Structure 1
Amino acid sequence: RREARETTAMAENTADFVAGWASGAVATLMTQPVDLVITRLQAGTARSVSGAISAEPLTALWRGMGPLLAVQPISNALMFVGYGAGKSYAERNQLSGGSALLPVFLGGCAGGAAQSLAQSPAELLKVRMQLSGHTHTPSARTLLSEGGLSRGMTATLWRDVLPHGVWFASYDLAKNYLQKRQ
């Protein structure tokens, strides 16, 4: 019986990982041009989009995507695996406090934390590449002298942990509400 539960949990984790990986890859490819424009606007180095396209090749819209494309699918997969593991842990250890949403919220927080660990270093590299205008990755020596790949990790955790808990709980609440209405 225990073996069957472990096999089922492994299958669920594998499915979560594959689905998360695929959705992360597609999302990265689709959102990179917008992300580049936002990064340049925030840095105050923005040119108009049409000006940037005419001055640079169209492929410049995907500049800095390499590190993110390498990590985003894995990061997304870790989010869903972390969510499933966190939710299961909360349910097994009766951390619900009488609420069906609390395990979902805690699972979302775990998923957000797992995602941040992979995402933060990749985002640091991506932003550096977008702002520099070069396609090369900053050297390890430069990154280490400026705080290493963990620079920005605290901000990424703040951005991802609680909001992912709220996102998963909101999604679950809305889904259950709509299913009851049918």
Structure 2
Amino acid sequence: MKELSQNQTIAVHGIAGAGSVALATAFTYPLDTMKVLIQVGSSPGKQLDAAQALTRVVFLSGNAVGRTFGLGARFGVYEILTAFYKDGREDNYLFGSEALLAGMASGAIESVISSPFELIKLRMQVTSASYVPSSNIALENGAHKPLIARLLNGCYPDKRSLDLYTGLISTLTTKNTNVSSALLEYPWTMTGSGKPPSVSSVRRPSDIVSLEGWRTLWRGLRSGIARDSVFGGIFFSTWQFLHQTMLDWKAAGMNPPPRLNEEVGPLSPFTVSLTAGFSASVAAAASHGFDTSRSRSQCNVVPKYISMERKILKWKRPGNKFERITGIHPLDRNVLFRGIGWRMARAGLASSMIVGSYLFVADQLTSSLT
């Protein structure tokens, strides 16, 4: 009977957690899309404002699966680590420094798990608001389609750009009389502009793996781990501090004074959800620079042959030591805090909804079972 009750409790908390995460993700997804577009659409000299980003949004895409896995890992690992800290303590008290360390560890694990889902989601968001010129017409040359499809899957050169290339070198002496065919043998000219394909051309998982390789699914992992570690540490430590402060405030009016936190009684779900939202907003502001760096790096399409060249040439990451460790590109220094308001709003609203809906659903399910 005891095992049945324990299994029911675990099931209740699992259902409540999954439902609250899915609800909060769906509700705050438009804010996340606006934040992403402002981050990747800005440059050091010009910022993409909210009105411009809104006009680019054609439809919102993505799913909550990766978000559910990531948040589940964050809260699950945090609860496991804090259980070791509180083991043997009579009042189950948790210090702020312990919450900070546990939050940083849980954030790092969350980043590794959610990275592939986040990359696909981000590219779908950018694609949904990207304008693809109609002039990018594929060459109807069956002899070269297999080569292009193998190196740049689904991408063909712009006919006008290729004609420009041909005109520029037509005056040079060459052993190959068919200059256009010779140009098609070079991957860096296959897109017609000398640049890799756009994000809108490489957004599906099959296209990403075919063109860029499996490791691309974890691109920007350095900045992702830095972002989620900072976010998790500040979020849980701030939330723990505010939660303990509210318990002490509630206990101040009790007579006799409670000896343990359990004797104070539960706090209001509304108050707890507000403190979670505030903590998440503070954590989002502190970690936003790493979030911008990761978003911009995930929007860069780097074909496998370029990655191979970098590896052979022992290419070193640009920037100072801190930027190399955290994955920040030097060119992004002036845009790291673009869209910070949107991310603070999304993180605060999502955390409030997750905690509030979780407490409400768990309370309703527990009441129905008893």
- When normalised by structure 2's length, the TM-score is 0.38
Q: Which residue of 204, 207, 211 maps to 1:137? A: 204
Correspondence for 1:83? 78
Separation of aligned partners in 2, 1:156 and 1:12 = 33
Whole-Å Cα distance in 2 between the matches of residues 110 and 22 of structure 1? Answer: 24
- 1:23–1:73: 8 Å Cα contact kept in structure 2? no
Contact 2:66/2:118 (8 A) holds in 1: no
Distance 1:50 1:39 in 2: 11
The match for 1:107 is: 102
Instruction: Give 1:171 shift.
Output: 0.6
Where relative contact order (Cα < 8 A, 6+ residues apart) is larger, the structure is: 2
The question of whether the paired residues in 1 share the 8 Å contact of 2:71 and 2:110 is answered with yes
Indicate how the Cα distance of structure 1 residues 17 and 74 shifts in structure 2: closer, same or farther if over 3 A, else same: farther
**More helix by percentage:** 1
Q: Is the 8 A contact 2:108 2:226 kept in 1?
A: no
Aligned residue among 24, 27, 52 for 2:24:
27
Provide the aligned C-alpha RMSD in A. Answer: 3.3
Q: Offset of 1:49 from its aligned partner? A: 5.5
Task: Tell whether the 8 Å contact from 1:20 to 1:74 is kept in structure 2 after alignment.
Answer: no
> Aligned partners of 1:13 and 1:106: how far apart in 2?
25
Which range moves more in the overlay, 12-21 or 153-162? 12-21
Q: Which runs of 5+ in 2 are unaligned?
A: 43-47, 129-199, 251-370
Unmatched tracts of structure 1, length 5 or more:
none
Cα distance in 2 for residues equivalent to 1:117 and 1:11: 30
Amino acid of the structure 1 residue aligned with 2:243: K
Percent identity among equivalent residues? 22
- Report which stretch shifted further, 15-24 or 72-81: 15-24
Aligned residue type for 2:24 = A
Letter of the structure 1 residue corresponding to residue 211 of structure 2: T
User: CA separation of 1:161/1:78 partners in 2, compared to 1, >3 Å: closer, same or farther?
Assistant: same
1:168 correspondence with 2:172:
no
Q: CA deviation at 1:177?
A: 0.8
8 Å contact kept, 1:109–1:161:
yes
- Over 3 Å counting, the alpha-carbon distance change for 1:41 and 1:85 in structure 2 is same
Q: Give 1:145-164 correspondences, 5 Å limit.
A: 147-164=215-232
> 2:175 matched to 1:178?
no
Change in 2 beyond 3 A, CA 1:22/1:106: farther
**Match in the other structure for 1:124:** 119
**Distance in 2 separating the partners of 1:161 and 1:148:** 21
How far off its partner does 1:168 sit?
Answer: 0.7
Max Rg structure: 2
1:61-100 matches, within 5 Å, as 62-63=60-61, 65-66=62-63, 69-92=64-87, 100=95
Deviation at 1:82, TM superposition (A): 0.6
Q: What is the deviation of 1:115?
A: 1.5
Alpha-carbon distance, 1:120 to partner: 1.7
8 A contact 1:24–1:75 mirrored in 2: no
Q: Partner amino acid for 2:99?
A: V
Q: More deviation in 34-43 or 71-80?
A: 34-43
Alignment partners' CA distance in 1, 2:31 and 2:242: 28
Q: Which of 35, 40, 63 pairs up with 1:38?
A: 35
- Retained in 2: the 8 A contact 1:75–1:115? yes
Tell me the distance in 1 between the aligned counterparts of 2:29 and 2:85. 35
**Residues 52 and 177 (structure 1), Cα distance of their counterparts in 2 relative to 1, 3 Å cut:** same
For residue 117 of structure 1, report the CA deviation from its aligned partner: 1.8
Report the Cα offset of residue 17 of structure 1.
4.6
Residues 17 and 117 of structure 1: CA distance in aligned 2, closer, same or farther (over 3 Å): farther
